[in-house]
Structure 1
Amino acid sequence: MGDKLYEYTGYLGWFHEQRDSLKEKYNSWKEQHPGGFVEYAKGLFVKKNEDSAPSFEDYTHLYRKKTRQELMRISMAVTGIEFSYAAETAFVSPTLLKIGVEHQHMTLVWALSPLIGFFVTPILGSLSDRCPFKFGRRRPFIILLSLGVLLGLILVPNGENIGLSLGDIPSSQNFTVSSLSAHRTSAVKHLITTNSTETVPIQEYTVGNHPWGIFFTVLGTILLDFDADACQSPARAYLLDVTIPEDHARGLSTFTIMAGLGGTLGYAMGGINWDATTLGVLLGGHVKAVFTLITIIFIICVTFTVTSFKEIPLQLLETPSQLDDEQTGIALLKDERKNILEKPEISYGSLNDESETQEKESEERKNDEDTRKVVLQKTPSLAPPPPDANLMLYLKSIIYMPMSLLRLCLTNLFCWMAHVCYSLYFTDFVGEAVFDGVPTAAEDTVERIRYEEGVRFGCWGMAMYSLSCACYSMIIERLIKKFGAKRVYVTGLLIYSSGMFLMAVTKHKIGVILFSWTAGIMYSTLFTMPYLLVAHYHAKGVFETNSDGAEKVIGQVRGLGTDLAIVSSMVFLAQFILSLSMGTIVRISKTTTAVVSVASFLAFCGAISARFVLYLDL
């Protein structure tokens, strides 16, 4: 009895000791931070204006070329995004159909996200240009939008279970008869006509009532679709911010390579039968296993990106004259002066000649500041914003843009419409037009089995397109240097247009795999060329040319993040237009072959539009 009392008193005494210790630490922290937790949290992100002498960190990495490994780490976020895309395109539609969403309502679901994104994404780009956080201008938005993707990855596979926990009625199926062709609808009996003209019921299937399940699954779909698309704009801007202009083409090609690898592995992961594995059983089945693994991969990829390189905060960009030469790597500027100013190193004679050496060093010191100014001017991420560049000016630049950006946006719109035709409706085309399947047939019928086989085969075709995207991205930079940006842009679109046309004509399994490689060339082109051109416009500070081809200054304040977001927002407009029109096109043509035919036509329109884009000397 005494031992138990002593043991109890000992634990109770330890508890009081820990409580007193925590209380003392809290009081000490409160004395050091009189503003409380709110002010402390704000200070972690926002640089205080009253700091008269801000402490400058080491930003030498912004002045040097990046290795391929460094560019891969910067681009890891898009790898996670493409993993998420693979899960979305493969499983969202079947998941929604399973809980009772009709086909005609699927159009509305896919249209919600692009409708929101088309208006919101350019605004987010303007906000990133003026983001005052100490963490940087782009990375806070990458983290914020990644949280939306993460929530979508959680809600989509678990929406039905959340609904059931809130009172939804589960689905039920009384019995099935195999090898019979019938169409399934919600909560009805399916009838067929036998040889004796007697009509008998063959199946009774009840979808159930899933209002909460539909709500959470649709919410997850919108979050996943919108945030994954919107996150690419700050991710690209971050890549361009932390690299010098000479690395932009190589950086964007690396960005596309990582996207292609993510898509390839993501689609391949969806093609594995996780139900037959121990891990799949532990994670709750095929769909949940895929989403769980992709969620983990997504977190790792985004973490690699946001911890790769530091950004210069907005306050330091607004006061570049205060940057300390020693801490910003003026020595690196000396080494890079030959490339940046395009002046070769000159030999002044014998190294033993002290007077000539001193004269050379004096000249170098005199040019240090000029060299730094040239770097700041040539690198948009390091150039200070104009003094009157407030948020309203950036928002106005969304509406009032130069003709060069309008043409680029139109070209990108055609490209994304052509690609969305393939990415969202391709597996359905393979299941129906190539394998002669029927998606609305009963589960055990031959037509339904053929359709599901076609869908799985189409996923492998999409895996080939992602692999093709990664492979083509490895050489697109060299192609641009050899043939010029205009030829690479137009040719890439024409190759995709030809591939989709041949796929529509042949409608064969070999064509599905072979011509899907042209889709990878298209994806690499639209993932690289528009953003390379925008970065080129900002690097040169030129958006227009005169009738004689001379460069023209437009006298308008424009932000790199804003313009990247404007061009990226075309994916939302493309998806919205196709979501409203593709169902009608298929119904009128009475064949899903119209999907790839329309893709071919739109890519051809994009190639024509690309001929009139402003390329300057790229």
Structure 2
Amino acid sequence: MVAGGVQYGWALQLSLLTPYVQVQYKYFTLINVFNDDLYLVQTLGLSHTLSSLIWLCGPVAGFVVQPCVGLWSDRCRSRFGRRRPFILVGCIFICFAVIVIAFSSDIGYKLGDTKEDCSIYHGPRWRAAIVYVAGFWLLDLSNNTVQGPTRALMADLSGTHGCSKANAIFASWMAIGNILGYSSGASGKWHEWFPFLSNRACCEACANLKGAFLVAVVFLLLSVLVTSIAGREEVAPSTVEERVGIMEIFRTIKNLPPKMPYILLVTSLTWLSWFPFNLYDTDWMGREIFHGDPKGTPAQMKAYDNGVRAGALGLLINSVVLGVTSILIEPLCRKFTTRIVWVMCNFCMFICMAATAIISSWSVHSYHGSIHDAIISPDGSVKAVALVVFAVLGAPLAVLYSVPFAVTAQLAANEGGGQGLCTGVLNISIVIPQVVIALGAGPWDGIFKKGNMPAFAVASVFAFVCGIVGLFVLPRLSTKNFKASAMSSLH
């Protein structure tokens, strides 16, 4: 359940924070356009190229934190269990980081940013931006602290049900967190429901972010409480004092199961194809599908905002498909083996990523509007097809959230290595592609000046290559031995 709580906040990050950091502080009165309402966008104003760099801390932290925390939890002999102390501490830091992000504008205001009202100030708020980035990085660091021990706890407690079914349940909770998070992101009414969140330093967009993240804190605290109480661990007392230093961690990595390098390779290629969409999905809807611009005319900014909200709706549909598919993964793996299911996932991603580039080109060529248009709206057919792509991607995402971890858990149970350490090392194969994409996607898109299309086109190539490679190098495992593997891991 704690996976659902963490994923709630992660879904908010994916749907809101990349667009949030790009739009500048602007204020417009649009007479006879939007019912004479005030259209206000008050965010941080970073460029499309630089926005991807903000995501670097998560992968960098995951590269170091998850293997360390994984091994430390394997060796932990606390009376509260091996995994739960790390999960609890990590969730506390997540709550703190979320509050820092939500109130970054208020903190920047107190630290000396402009005293003008946010509705009339046009310039940057650098102190707020620094606080925001610090909170964002702390959030990613805390997320990585929680994820490894949570996966390991799931494998520890899977019992006779087996790792495959347990990972499917884990993915289902992630889907629930996604659904709640994207629902929150798709709503722009938080500032109306909680008007006290708005002030001179924090206008509509900021207040919406506050409301969504504060609800995320409440849900995460409830989730971690249930997991801490219900997830009872039996820890054997240790009679030998074990050193768990940094060098010990690197020495222990040498003892990973022999087949793990193949799992790491295919996982890396899979995430190279997935993360560009993960990073720019709502931005893609705002720019290419709705023809908006976060730094353009009032009509373009309104169109971009509508696109971001439509993207959040697409992610919500994606999460529903993810939840349904999670239920089917275990019987699919039993029928076709985990290798075939994983390869099918990669080829599905190839088709979808190629479709995003095609849809982007279709949308751009079918649009005949002008930057002076008072109202900008997308082509209905293009929007519908884009939402279908969001929905279809829920199926391979369910596989990506469960099958690699189930295979890793089985290898750790059969051939040793430790559940926590193997899960942490698997995360390295996830974060390295994220670093590559975070560093390269923005500049790569900037070279071609085609929005998000170049990054999505490269993602489709990686997905195809990954499917071919996975077909030949993934271990031929089925779920027949998962139950025995899970029982042996408990012993």
Give the TM-score normalised by structure 2. 0.81
When structure 1 is superposed on structure 2, of 235-244 and 568-577 the one drifting more is 568-577
**Offset, 1:108:** 3.1
**Offset, 1:562:** 0.2
Q: Match for 1:77: what amino acid? A: V
How many Å separate the matches in 2 of 1:450 and 1:410? 40
Partner of 2:308: 455
How many Å separate the matches in 1 of 2:155 and 2:67? 17
Partner of 2:178: 263
**Offset, 1:225:** 2.0
Partner of 2:373: none
Aligned length: 426
Task: Verify: 1:243 aligned to 2:117, yes or no.
Answer: no
Q: SS of 2:293's equivalent?
A: coil
Task: Verify: 1:512 aligned to 2:372, yes or no.
Answer: no
Indicate the RMSD between aligned Cα atoms, in angstroms.
2.3
How many Å separate the matches in 2 of 1:389 and 1:246? 31
Q: SS of 1:231's equivalent?
A: helix
Partner of 2:337: 484
Partner of 2:225: 303
Q: SS of 2:259's equivalent?
A: helix
Partner of 2:261: 406
Q: Which structure has more helix as a fraction of its residues?
A: 2
User: Contact 2:186–2:309 at 8 Å: present in 1 too?
Assistant: yes
Task: Verify: 1:465 aligned to 2:318, yes or no.
Answer: yes
Q: SS of 1:429's equivalent?
A: helix
Task: Verify: 1:287 aligned to 2:209, yes or no.
Answer: yes
Residues 616, 291 of structure 1: alpha-carbon distance in 2 compared, 3 angstrom cutoff:
closer
**Offset, 1:309:** 2.7
Instruction: Give 2:435's match in structure 1, choosing from 576, 590, 593.
Output: 576
Q: Match for 1:529: what amino acid? A: V
Residues 531, 450 of structure 1: alpha-carbon distance in 2 compared, 3 angstrom cutoff:
same
Q: Match for 2:6: what amino acid? A: I
User: Could you report, residue by residue, the CA deviation over 1:389-418 in whole angstroms, capped at 9, with x for unpaired residues?
Assistant: 753655313256454111111111122222
User: Could you report, residue by residue, the CA deviation over 1:535-594 in whole angstroms, capped at 9, with x for unpaired residues?
Assistant: 1112323xxxxxxxxxxxxxxx62211001110233322221111100122122321222
For CA contacts below 8 A with separation 6 or more, give which structure has more relative contact order. 2
**Offset, 1:80:** 0.6
Task: Verify: 1:114 aligned to 2:114, yes or no.
Answer: no
**Offset, 1:314:** 4.3
How many Å separate the matches in 2 of 1:424 and 1:573? 15
When structure 1 is superposed on structure 2, of 584-593 and 120-129 the one drifting more is 584-593
Instruction: Give 2:469's match in structure 1, choosing from 609, 612, 617.
Output: 609
Partner of 2:202: none
How many Å separate the matches in 1 of 2:350 and 2:357? 11
User: Contact 2:286–2:306 at 8 Å: present in 1 too?
Assistant: yes
Residues 511, 474 of structure 1: alpha-carbon distance in 2 compared, 3 angstrom cutoff:
same
How many Å separate the matches in 1 of 2:114 and 2:255? 52
Q: SS of 1:569's equivalent?
A: helix
Q: Quick one: percent identity of the two aligned structures?
A: 25
Give the TM-score normalised by structure 1. 0.65
How many Å separate the matches in 2 of 1:411 and 1:389? 33
Q: SS of 1:112's equivalent?
A: helix
Partner of 1:420: 275
How many Å separate the matches in 2 of 1:469 and 1:266? 14
How many Å separate the matches in 2 of 1:226 and 1:473? 27
Partner of 2:250: 395
How many Å separate the matches in 2 of 1:401 and 1:609? 21
Q: Match for 1:254: what amino acid? A: I
Instruction: Give 1:432's match in structure 2, choosing from 280, 287, 292.
Output: 287
**Offset, 1:617:** 4.7
How many Å separate the matches in 1 of 2:338 and 2:235? 33
Instruction: Give 1:207's match in structure 2, choosing from 101, 123, 137.
Output: 123
User: Contact 1:172–1:208 at 8 Å: present in 2 too?
Assistant: no
Residues 388, 264 of structure 1: alpha-carbon distance in 2 compared, 3 angstrom cutoff:
same
**Offset, 1:609:** 2.8
How many Å separate the matches in 1 of 2:14 and 2:453? 19
Partner of 1:185: none
Q: SS of 1:111's equivalent?
A: helix
How many Å separate the matches in 1 of 2:100 and 2:6? 16
How many Å separate the matches in 1 of 2:197 and 2:62? 32
User: Could you report, residue by residue, the CA deviation over 1:479-512 in whole angstroms, capped at 9, with x for unpaired residues?
Assistant: 1111111111111111121122123223421221
Q: Highest Rg: 1 or 2?
A: 1
Partner of 2:101: 156
Q: Match for 1:214: what amino acid? A: A
**Offset, 1:169:** 1.9
